[in-house]
């Protein structure tokens, strides 16, 4: 992954979430209620300043100009996108103009806001779908290095840490005021937990040699719940999932799956017992076709034949793109499609508990929302889910229960939303 593009994508993701807040306000206005003006004001302030001061210069001054220098063919697209930058500002100014009206015309406000949101989203989509691939193709390593250096330059008035701090404060004020759903579309419908534990970890430890990667971790996942484990790089998230699925030995504590002691179930038997693990980095079998990958997911099942066929069709209904591509080698799929395939393959084992390791990693903002939609759907189908994520804001908005893991220890836990509003957690993990 190219660092400079990762930075731009992260900014897109952030804007996408802010646009969701604005969309919610427009929706409220459409219902005939006055949206919280303070919140709209903050959102507009963010969009007006952040995009102009931080985001566009990255593209206009660096990415776009480097690309034109390398590829004459990219010129039309780049000029189009540059033109759109100007039009975005005009559209945003119309939203502002409505808002400063003392007697807010709800319909008019909603209309200009929706117009701006749609335009801005389409613009980001075009950049990610059309411009990024061209840039990947044409820019050289030294081009990327130059861009990265510019983005990382703390002395630059635009890109330095001070600017980041300023926007982090603004974002955090928005997050505090905006109730759900921030960043994820429709509010989550929660399946009530029957309080019946599917997975219980009590004081579990794991070591790499003498280094402790997990220290006395206790968590509980009840039937039907979606439980999220968040934490920064190297916190031990992957280790925890690998310990549950048996790929990593535990060095202490107890693990129970549906009341059975997991130490009595060999790693190789755990899939058949009902635990499916979707590992980090979506490891599909690249040379095999999409359909063969799905079939492999069913290897532990005793009911071969019609049942398996039915389930493959069901997975194609959930992920239509996999049906279209069922005959092509999995390695040719895009990152997002491979993630869907990895999840589909795990579903083929008919698990009662699914372990997901960073399904959003490396995906564009759009795909992240799509993958999270799918995960919600899995939960609605009755699968109990333990998901590990660095993308804490998004996953905690979705989760019934969340845990924070720091250096191998659980430091916070609670309902997803409560955890997301927790000041410590916000500072440390939500980048706000
Ligand atoms: N095979 C290994 N041998 C030795 N140390 C390891 C090994 N795998 C992981 N570690 C260490 O264990 C700690 C936890 O790693 P782990 O991969 O579980 O973290 P993580 O939370 O999943 O991180 P990331 O967000 O990067 O995926 C880290 O300090 C890591 O360096
Ligand atoms: Mg990991």
Domains and CATH numbers, the chain: 2-176 (1.20.120.520), 197-430 (3.40.50.300)
Chunked mean pLDDT (size 10), the chain, 432 residues: 82 82 90 89 91 85 92 93 93 94 92 96 90 93 91 75 71 65 34 69 91 91 93 91 95 93 91 93 89 92 84 90 95 90 93 94 78 85 92 85 90 82 74 54
Between the alpha carbon of residue 25 and those of residues 22, 109, 181, 319, the distances in Å are: 5, 10, 11, 31
- Sorted by sequence, the CB contacts under 8 Å of residue 256 that are 6+ apart come out as 197, 199, 200, 202, 262
What whole-number distance in Å separates Cα of residue 238 and Cα of residue 24?
35
Give pLDDT, residue 398.
85
Q: Are strands 197-208 and 275-278 parallel, antiparallel or unpaired?
A: unpaired
Any atom of ligand 1 within 6 Å of the Cβ of 380:
no
236 CB within 6 A, ligand 1: yes
User: Whose Cα sits closest to atom 3 in ligand 1?
Assistant: 208
Q: Which atom of ligand 1 is nearest to the CA of 280?
A: 27
Could you give the CA distance from residue 9 to residue 4 in angstroms, rounded to a whole number? 9
Residue 401: which of 195, 247, 215, 204 has the closest Cα? 195
Kindly give the distance from the C-alpha atom of residue 246 to the centroid of ligand 1, in angstroms, as a whole number.
Answer: 16
CA of 418 to the centre of ligand 1 (A): 27
359 Cβ inside 6 Å of ligand 1? no
Q: What is the pTM of this model?
A: 0.61
């Amino acid at each position: 992954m190219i660092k400079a593009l990762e930075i731009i994508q992260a900014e897109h993701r952030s804007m996408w979430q802010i646009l969701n807040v604005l969309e919610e306000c427009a929706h409220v206005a459409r219902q005939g209620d006055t949206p919280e003006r303070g919140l709209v004001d903050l959102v507009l302030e963010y969009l007006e300043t952040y995009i102009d001061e931080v985001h566009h210069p990255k593209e206009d001054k660096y990415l776009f100009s480097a690309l034109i220098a390398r590829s004459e063919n990219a010129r039309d697209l780049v000029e189009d996108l540059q033109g759109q930058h100007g039009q975005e500002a005009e559209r945003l100014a119309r939203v502002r103009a409505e808002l400063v009206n003392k007697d807010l015309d709800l319909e008019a406000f909603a209309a200009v806001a929706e117009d701006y949101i749609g335009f801005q989203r389409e613009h980001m989509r075009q950049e990610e779908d059309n411009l990024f691939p061209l840039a990947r193709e044409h820019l050289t390593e030294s081009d990327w290095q130059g861009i990265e250096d510019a983005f990382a330059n703390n002395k630059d008035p635009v890109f330095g840490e001070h600017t980041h701090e300023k926007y982090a404060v603004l974002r955090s004020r928005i997050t505090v005021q905006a109730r759900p759903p921030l960043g994820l579309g429709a509010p989550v419908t929660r399946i009530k937990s029957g309080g019946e534990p599917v997975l219980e970890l009590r004081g579990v430890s794991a070591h790499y040699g003498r280094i402790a990667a997990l220290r006395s971790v206790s968590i509980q996942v009840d039937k039907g719940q979606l439980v999220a484990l968040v934490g920064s790089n190297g916190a031990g998230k992957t280790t925890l999932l690998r310990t549950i699925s048996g790929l990593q030995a535990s060095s202490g504590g107890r693990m129970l799956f549906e009341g059975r002691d997991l130490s009595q179930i060999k790693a190789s038997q755990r899939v058949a017992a009902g635990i499916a693990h979707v590992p980090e980095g979506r490891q599909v079998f690249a040379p095999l076709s999409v359909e063969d990958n799905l079939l492999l997911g069913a290897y532990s099942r005793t009911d071969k034949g019609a049942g398996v066929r039915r389930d493959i069709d069901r997975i194609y209904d959930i992920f239509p793109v996999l049906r279209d591509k069922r005959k092509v080698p999995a390695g040719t799929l895009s990152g997002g499609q491979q993630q869907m395939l990895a999840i589909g393959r795990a579903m083929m084992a008919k698990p009662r508990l699914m372990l997901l390791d960073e399904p959003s990693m490396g995906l564009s903002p759009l795909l992240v929302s799509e993958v999270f939609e799918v995960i919600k759907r899995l939960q609605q189908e009755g699968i109990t889910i333990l998901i590990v994520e660095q993308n804490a804001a998004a996953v905690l908005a979705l989760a019934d229960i969340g845990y924070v893991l720091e250096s191998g220890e659980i430091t916070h836990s609670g309902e997803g939303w409560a955890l997301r509003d927790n000041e410590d957690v916000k500072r440390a993990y939500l980048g706000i």
